[in-house]
Amino acid sequence: MVYDYVIIGSGVAGLNAARLIPKSKKVLILCKKEPWECNTFYAQGGVATAVDDSDIPVHIKDTLVAGAQYNDKQAVELLSKNSLACIKDLINDGLQFDLNAKGELAFTKEAAHSRSRILHADGDATGRMIHLFLLSECKHEIVTNAVVNDLLIQDDICYGVQYYISETEQKVAYAHNTIIASGGVGSIYKYHTNSVTVAGEIQGICIEKGLKLKDMEMMQFHPTVFKGTSFARKALLSEALRGEGAYVVDENGYRFLFDYHEDGELAPRDVVSRSIFDYNQKTGLGIFLSFESFEKNAFRKRFPNIYANFNDLGYDLPFERVPISPAFHYAMGGIQTGLDAKVLGMKNLYAIGEAACTGVHGANRLASNSLLEGIVFSKIAVDDSMKQDFKIDKQNYKKEIKTYTRNKEIDKNIKDRVRKLMWENAAIVRDKESLQKALDEIKEFLKEDIGRLLTLRLLTAQSILTAAIGREKSLGAHFIKEKQC
Ligand code: FAD
Ligand code: SIN
């Protein structure tokens, strides 16, 4: 049996692609755990969109400024120009965004946006509402606990995927089109905001197959993440809070961010994260997010989930301030694609969402452009594949289907070490020597007798370090500390 499509991932990119593929097609969606265990489900702030035609050039400009002008301009134009139609299509299909008192779409603001243009749902549960909607629309087969461990690539054709269905059993699915929508790399870092399912394995497979990754040094750190728990995955305090009046203070109540950038809390995300990191290093003072400017009922209504979560953690918002720190959040870099969402050099392999590098985000993603990217580029991938109507002949695939050991006993310790290495050496402020040491250590781990999933994770970590070493000057989220003479 040959599927028309195999989609790896059930986040916004994968599920929106599935929504747009007709029911008559045979589609298989694979995801690592439950469908909702993905970054999309946890997204809070919202979806950026051009508000109307006149806002398109402004949205483009904001995206380029935040991205340090390193973005692919054509990709940014595609993103913004398609935003209106793609969002309208979702609303027409039944997705409900929050409305203002006049019953119109309510737009909020986040850092580095020059106007309010972010749609949100259930206040601060935008990702959850989008995910529930897309799941309810899904008319195709979803297999859970299916962990892809290889792409069946021969020459420039992808014949499908190989995946674990348990610790030891593997399956193969052949497909005319394969869509990678497997998200970013969060679990490679010690402290992050991401779902546990997001570990950069498919990026690792691409490296192995000689496919190009792009901009892997461009990793984004969210400035306002709750500091008070010991788990790797940290609770996020949405940028929309700062967009609507929350501000960052030191333990003495001083708003130090204006010492770093004239826009203070609303400067681009890389600037805010780096300033918090630097101020804390220099002064040793604790950093907090303050909600003083909010009235209690208004806060509860606008941010119901953050209110409830922090209530459970013992904070009475908006009256109490919350200790924060930056943490890994988002990968601008990924599998290099063209403007048609196709993986470079491949005929029938697409990459969309956070796994891909379309070049849209440049050196630093503008807040809330990621859900939009998933929505817009999933449509581009589906439209392109329907037009191409590429067919594989599975008899032509002559390579061996390998049996990989999923995990080995030594993997856990190495995994923990790698997460620490990446957090300490390839995070907010970097220097060449530390990056090189971390890279040498990763290369040693790759020589060990380790499991398949760790190997893939290590290949991706290696690509981040190599790309960071290769970029000698700071740009956007990639900040290299000058050597002291
Ligand atoms: P994901 O939603 O991460 O889905 C990845 C899927 O791939 C999962 O189903 C996973 O199981 C599957 N997968 C991974 N590896 C494998 C494998 N080996 N085999 C099989 N399946 C695999 N962006 C915004 O625009 N606005 C926001 O407000 C916002 N808030 C955020 C808040 C948080 C806490 C986080 C973490 C991110 C936020 N982002 C936001 C970023 C945004 O949510 C993500 O970039 C986006 O949802 C990624 O969507 P995706 O479909 O590419 O991947
Ligand atoms: C947030 O709500 O702060 C996250 C927004 C984003 O990552 O785009």
Write the pLDDT tens digit of every residue in 282-292: 999 999 999 99
Write the pLDDT tens digit of every residue in 168-218: 999 999 999 999 999 999 999 999 999 999 999 999 999 999 999 999 999
CB within 8 Å of 248: residues ≥ 6 apart: 223, 224, 242, 255, 256, 257, 264, 265, 272, 276, 287, 288, 289, 290, 324
| CA 287 – CA 284 distance, rounded (Å) | 9
Instruction: Tell me the sheet residues that pair with 336.
Output: 357
Ligand showing the shortest atom-to-Cα distance for residue 135: 1
pLDDT for 485 beyond 70? no
* Domain(s) of CATH 3.90.700.10: residues in the chain: 225-327
Cβ of 236 closer than 6 Å to ligand 1, yes or no, is yes
Pocket of ligand 2 (CB under 6 A): 44-45, 238-240, 367-368, 370
Among residues 19, 117, 242, 269, the one annotated as catalytic is 269
CA atoms within 13 A on the CB side of 386: 13
Mean pLDDT over residues 145-158, rounded?
Answer: 98
pLDDT (0 to 100) of residue 231: 83
pLDDT for 368 beyond 80? yes
| CA 226 – CA 233 distance, rounded (Å) | 10
Question: What's the pTM?
Answer: 0.98
- The alpha carbon of 45 and the centre of ligand 2 are apart by a number of angstroms equal to 5
Query: Which amino acid is located at 330 in the chain?
Result: Y
Cβ of 197 closer than 6 Å to ligand 1, yes or no, is yes
Ligand showing the shortest atom-to-Cα distance for residue 335: 1
- Would residue 269 show up in a list of annotated catalytic residues for this protein? yes
- The alpha carbon of 194 and the centre of ligand 2 are apart by a number of angstroms equal to 12
Write the pLDDT tens digit of every residue in 307-347: 999 999 999 999 999 999 999 999 999 999 999 999 999 99
By the 8 A CB rule, do 361 and 217 touch?
no
pLDDT for 229 beyond 90? no
- The alpha carbon of 483 and the centre of ligand 1 are apart by a number of angstroms equal to 36
H helices within 147-288, ranges in order? 201-208, 239-243, 269-283
* Probe target for ligand 1 pocket from 150, 370, 457, with the most ligand atoms within 8 Å of CB: 370
By the 8 A CB rule, do 194 and 328 touch?
yes
Write the pLDDT tens digit of every residue in 411-453: 999 999 999 999 999 999 999 999 999 999 999 999 999 999 9
| DSSP-assigned letter for residue 264 | G
* Domain(s) of CATH 3.50.50.60: residues in the chain: 2-144+329-396
- Measured by CA distance, the residue closest to atom 29 of ligand 1 is 43
Write the pLDDT tens digit of every residue in 13-48: 999 999 999 999 999 999 999 999 999 999 999 999
CA 405 to chain centre: 28
Look-up of token digits 């309510």: 106
Topology annotation, domain 225-327: Flavocytochrome C3; Chain A, domain 1 (3.90.700)
Ligand showing the shortest atom-to-Cα distance for residue 224: 2
pLDDT (0 to 100) of residue 484: 63
* Probe target for ligand 1 pocket from 20, 197, 205, 452, with the most ligand atoms within 8 Å of CB: 197
- Measured by CA distance, the residue closest to atom 21 of ligand 1 is 31
- By C-alpha distance, which of 260, 281, 279 is closest to 271? 260
Q: Which CATH superfamily is domain 2-144+329-396 in?
A: FAD/NAD(P)-binding domain (3.50.50.60)
- Measured by CA distance, the residue closest to atom 28 of ligand 1 is 45
pLDDT (0 to 100) of residue 475: 98
pLDDT for 150 beyond 70? yes
For residue 44, give the ligand 2 atom closest to its CA: 2
